[in-house]
Amino acid sequence: MNVITNKTCFLMICCLFLSRFDKGDAVKVSYLHHLDQLKRGAAVGEIARKFSTNENTLTDGCSYAVDPHAVVKAKLNNHGNLGALVQHELKPKSLLTISGSFDTLAMEKTPRFGVALSLKP
């Protein structure tokens, strides 16, 4: 008899999403897997299909909570777009986010960077 203990049981979530914004033209399937019990690290995958352009997009990503107030995230898709961000919680519900992305297949293009500050009272 196999017994699953709490040490080996991690959360796995899979969902199917039909986009209403594209008038039902796009379907997305997502998968989330927490890598540890504390839910500090996670791996994600998404497959998106757009029917009008007959285009598929595969996106892989990961997330890691460096400490209780800081998260690092990265994602890469099959079109060569690489994105990363660092998000820090300054106080409860107030976030500072620094992000960047670039096209790995067209290195001559200028990368994009951004800073966002979300303040909640």
* DSSP-assigned letter for residue 80: S
The CB-side HSE value for 68 (13 A sphere, CA atoms) comes to: 3
**In order of start, what are the domains of the chain with their CATH numbers?**
12-118 (2.40.160.10)
* HSE-up (13 A, CA, CB side) for residue 118: 9
- Could you give the CA distance from residue 108 to residue 11 in angstroms, rounded to a whole number? 40
pLDDT at 19 over 70: no
The predicted-structure confidence for 46-93, as pLDDT tens digits, reads as follows: 999 888 899 999 999 999 999 999 999 999 999 999 999 999 999 999
Contacts of 8 by beta carbon, 8 Å cutoff, 6+ apart:
none
Give mean pLDDT, residues 14-38.
Answer: 75
State residue 34's pLDDT score.
Answer: 87
With 60 as the cut, is the pLDDT of residue 2 above it?
A: no
Amino acid in the structure at residue 31: Y
The pTM score is 0.78
